[in-house]
Structure formats: C-alpha cells, structure tokens
C-alpha cells in the first residue's frame, strides 16, 4: 500500500505522528510525508519514510502572489503521484486542502475532534476517537482505519534512528559538544506561548541546584527573547551554564541525544527529547499532559493542580507572582526529585 501522510507542523505535532508512521511501516506500507520544510528533517530520521515532500508554507503565506508559479508547480508535481491512501493527520483547512489536491482515497479526523471543521468536506472517510484519547492514540487510530486494522499498538514506537543524526555533527557542533563536556544537561526554557514559560527565578534556582553538583548546563535559544533569557541565566551560572550558538533542528536533536538529562516545557524540543529516549522532565501548566504529554519510562512530567489548569490559553491574564500562577507549586526542588527518579543525578 502506498500512503501519503499529511502532517505539516509544528515540531511537537510532527513528533506525535511518528508512532502512526511506525504502525504503517510494520504493515509493509510505502510512506511519503508532506511536511512543512522547517521540520522536514524529522521524518528523514524514520526508516519508514521513503520520500519527504517539503512545502514552504511560511514563504508562500508571506508573499503568495510572488510565489504563485512555484505553488502551481508544487500542486502539479503532487498530483503526478497516485496513492492508495491519503491520510491527513493534521485536521486543519490547509492540510485537508492539500490532502484533497493529492490523488488517493482520503482519510482524516472526524468533525467531533478535528481542529478546523472546514477541513471535513475534503475527506472521504473520517475517524472518530474517545474524548480521553491521547493525541498520539488519535493519530494511530486514523492510520489504523486507513490501513484496515482493528487495533493499534499500545507501545509508542517513534522509530527515530540516532545514527541518522551523525550528519549534523559538524566541526562547529563538535566544538559545542567539547565545551559542554561529558554528562551535560539541557534547559529547554523556550516555548511559543507565554503561559507555558516557567518563571525565570525558578530556572535560576534549578541552575544553582545542578551546578552545585558540578554539572554543566547548556542553554539553547530560538529567538532574541530566549537568547536574552539564556544570557541572564548564564550570568548566574558560575561558568557552568553555557549559552549555545544558534542551532538547527538537526543540531539540537544531536545535542539532545547526547545529553545526560533535559528539563523542558511543553515544546517541540521536549517532545523530541522523549522520542529520542533522552531522560526528560517536562513542566505543564496551561497545557494538558493527558492529551499531549509523552509518557514513557525515560520521561516524567509535573503538572499544575490549580483549578484553572489546564486552561489551554496562550497568555495568562491573572496577575500574581510567580507568573503564570499555575507554575507556583512546580518548584525547582520538585524538578530535582523527578531527575533523581530518572536516575540522572549523581
């Protein structure tokens, strides 16, 4: 069976689709993956994906008229392939439209749980799920229905081949690895929503707790605001906290795979850490780990017990300290306890 999977973005969403890809691979399917070009490297690390079709969505969105000929050519090329199944695992209008433009029998999420209901007319078959199903289970069920399977695998196989990361180990990255030394930790302190951001004072306290154990902390960043936060943390790190240079997705994955442990927020790189089996503690305040948390033996999470959590809001309107208030009880001491449970602290 030849399958086109449409799962465009963001990074965490792409990672959530990997167990469904492993499921299809186990059935002998040939898989092509249509994905935002910013995250196209992630499917390349999975042995089950035989072709990656990157799409420059951000460029087209910013200047559609300027790129109209490129867009027409992309659609023409997409329609040259004929698939047995076209499976939209995103559930957005744009992903549903792309699934409709491809040639093949189309499957997608049911209207009861789809993210944008305008996408449902693009599918010939829709798949329903239980409201309590984790997002990974939901995607597995869509894949299973398209494959004609009765059930799904209870074990999540992300299928990432660490050997595929060797290409990212450039001389510049080797220099970073050498600077960090053996047994380093990574603090993934950035997130797209301000409501997901753990208080800076907590990061500083956790930094003090780990560096007092003579552990080195790597501080990556993805934008200027995150870089400023990393610099501020490093200033109190007594030389054991290192602000990393700008890194690509592949370079970050390579560092994550080599780290002794990771502390992160509900972000794509934290999900990538769990998929790469790196021990990671993930902190959930405004978002719901029952829906999107990766739960495995090498991953633990802390969640807020505040009545308003998880609110699923991008910004918190409540004024309190620390801010956001849902993180008040998720203290650095509790994070250290989880790191001990994972067996990564000396």
Q: Is the pLDDT of residue 319 over 80?
A: no
Residues 169 and 140 occupy one common structural domain: no
Q: Quick one: pLDDT band at residue 323, thresholds 50, 70, 90?
A: confident
Domain interval for residue 185 = 162-341
pTM: 0.94
Which of 147, 170, 199 is at the close of a domain?
147
How confident is the model at residue 308, as a pLDDT? 87
**Digit-coded pLDDT (tens) for 43-56:** 999 999 999 999 99
d(Cα 145, Cα 286) in Å, to the nearest integer? 32
The total domain count for the chain is 2
What average pLDDT does the segment 301-330 reach? 87
How confident is the model at residue 232, as a pLDDT? 94
Q: Is residue 156 part of a domain?
A: no
Check residue 312 and give left, alpha or beta (phi > 0: left; psi -120 to 50: alpha): left
Q: Is residue 142 part of a domain?
A: yes
Residues 101 and 226 occupy one common structural domain: no
Residues 141 and 245 occupy one common structural domain: no
Residues 121 and 168 occupy one common structural domain: no
d(Cα 74, Cα 164) in Å, to the nearest integer? 27
Domain CATH number, residue 330: 3.40.50.2000
Q: Is residue 113 part of a domain?
A: yes
How confident is the model at residue 176, as a pLDDT? 94
Residues 285 and 179 occupy one common structural domain: yes
Q: Is residue 153 part of a domain?
A: no
What average pLDDT does the segment 154-174 reach? 91
Which of 147, 180, 202 is at the close of a domain?
147
Q: Is residue 155 part of a domain?
A: no
Residues 302 and 184 occupy one common structural domain: yes
Residues 334 and 253 occupy one common structural domain: yes
**Digit-coded pLDDT (tens) for 196-210:** 999 999 999 999 999
**Digit-coded pLDDT (tens) for 3-55:** 999 999 999 999 999 999 999 999 999 999 999 999 999 999 999 999 999 99
How confident is the model at residue 322, as a pLDDT? 77
Considering the chain, what is the average pLDDT of its residues?
94
Q: Is the pLDDT of residue 307 over 80?
A: yes
How confident is the model at residue 321, as a pLDDT? 73
d(Cα 263, Cα 191) in Å, to the nearest integer? 13
What percentage of the chain carries pLDDT values higher than 90? 86
> Which H/E stretch holds residue 185?
strand 185-188
Between helix 249-258 and helix 268-275 the angle, nearest 10°, is: 50
Strand partners, 186: 218, 262
Residues 322 and 187 occupy one common structural domain: yes
Q: Is the pLDDT of residue 89 over 90?
A: yes
**Digit-coded pLDDT (tens) for 212-270:** 999 999 999 999 999 999 999 999 877 799 999 999 999 999 999 999 999 999 999 99
Return the DSSP state at 37: G
List Cβ neighbours of 239 (8 Å cut-off, separation of 6 or more): none
Which of 112, 147, 182 is at the close of a domain?
147
Q: Is residue 60 part of a domain?
A: yes
- Residue 122 DSSP SS3: helix
d(Cα 292, Cα 220) in Å, to the nearest integer? 23
**Digit-coded pLDDT (tens) for 69-85:** 999 999 999 999 999 99
Q: Quick one: pLDDT band at residue 287, thresholds 50, 70, 90?
A: very high
Residues 218 and 128 occupy one common structural domain: no
Q: Is residue 157 part of a domain?
A: no
Q: Is the pLDDT of residue 320 over 80?
A: no
d(Cα 254, Cα 45) in Å, to the nearest integer? 12
Residues 177 and 253 occupy one common structural domain: yes
Strand partners, 106: 86
Residues 143 and 166 occupy one common structural domain: no
Lowest mean pLDDT among 123-132, 153-162, 244-253: 153-162
How confident is the model at residue 346, as a pLDDT? 85
Q: Is residue 118 part of a domain?
A: yes
Residues 89 and 125 occupy one common structural domain: yes
d(Cα 303, Cα 177) in Å, to the nearest integer? 32
Q: What HEC string does 41-52 produce?
A: CCHHHECCEEEE
């Amino acid at each position: 069976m030849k399958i086109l999977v449409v799962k465009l973005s963001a990074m965490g969403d792409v990672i959530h689709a990997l167990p469904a890809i492993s499921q299809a691979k186990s059935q002998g399917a040939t898989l092509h993956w249509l994905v935002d070009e910013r995250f196209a490297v992630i499917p390349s690390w999975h042995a089950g994906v035989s072709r990656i079709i990157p799409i420059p969505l951000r460029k087209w969105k910013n200047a559609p008229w300027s790129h109209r000929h490129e867009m027409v050519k992309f659609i023409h090329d997409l329609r040259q392939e004929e698939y047995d199944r076209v499976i939209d695992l995103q559930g957005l209008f744009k992903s549903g439209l792309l699934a409709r433009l491809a040639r093949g029998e189309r499957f997608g999420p049911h209207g009861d749980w789809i993210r944008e209901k305008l996408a449902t007319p693009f599918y010939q078959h829709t798949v329903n799920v239980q409201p309590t199903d984790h997002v990974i289970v939901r995607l597995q069920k869509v894949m299973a229905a398209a494959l004609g399977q009765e059930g799904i695998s209870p074990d999540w196989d992300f299928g990432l081949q660490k050997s595929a990361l060797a290409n990212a180990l450039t001389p510049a990255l080797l220099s970073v690895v050498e600077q960090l030394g053996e047994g380093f930790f990574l603090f993934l302190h950035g997130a797209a929503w301000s409501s997901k951001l753990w208080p800076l004072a907590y990061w500083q306290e956790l930094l003090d707790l780990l560096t007092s154990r003579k552990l080195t902390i790597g501080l990556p960043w993805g934008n200027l605001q995150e870089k400023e936060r990393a610099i501020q943390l490093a200033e109190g790190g007594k030389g054991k906290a290192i602000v990393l240079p700008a890194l690509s997705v592949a370079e970050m994955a390579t560092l994550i795979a080599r780290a002794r442990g990771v502390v992160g927020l509900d972000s794509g790189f934290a999900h990538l850490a769990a998929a790469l089996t790196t021990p990671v503690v993930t902190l959930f305040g405004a978002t719901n780990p029952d829906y999107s948390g990766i739960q495995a033996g090498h991953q633990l999470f802390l969640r807020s017990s505040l009545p308003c959590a998880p609110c699923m809001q991008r910004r918190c309107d409540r004024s309190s300290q620390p801010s956001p208030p849902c993180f008040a009880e998720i203290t650095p001491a509790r994070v250290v306890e989880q790191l001990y449970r994972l067996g990564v602290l000396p």
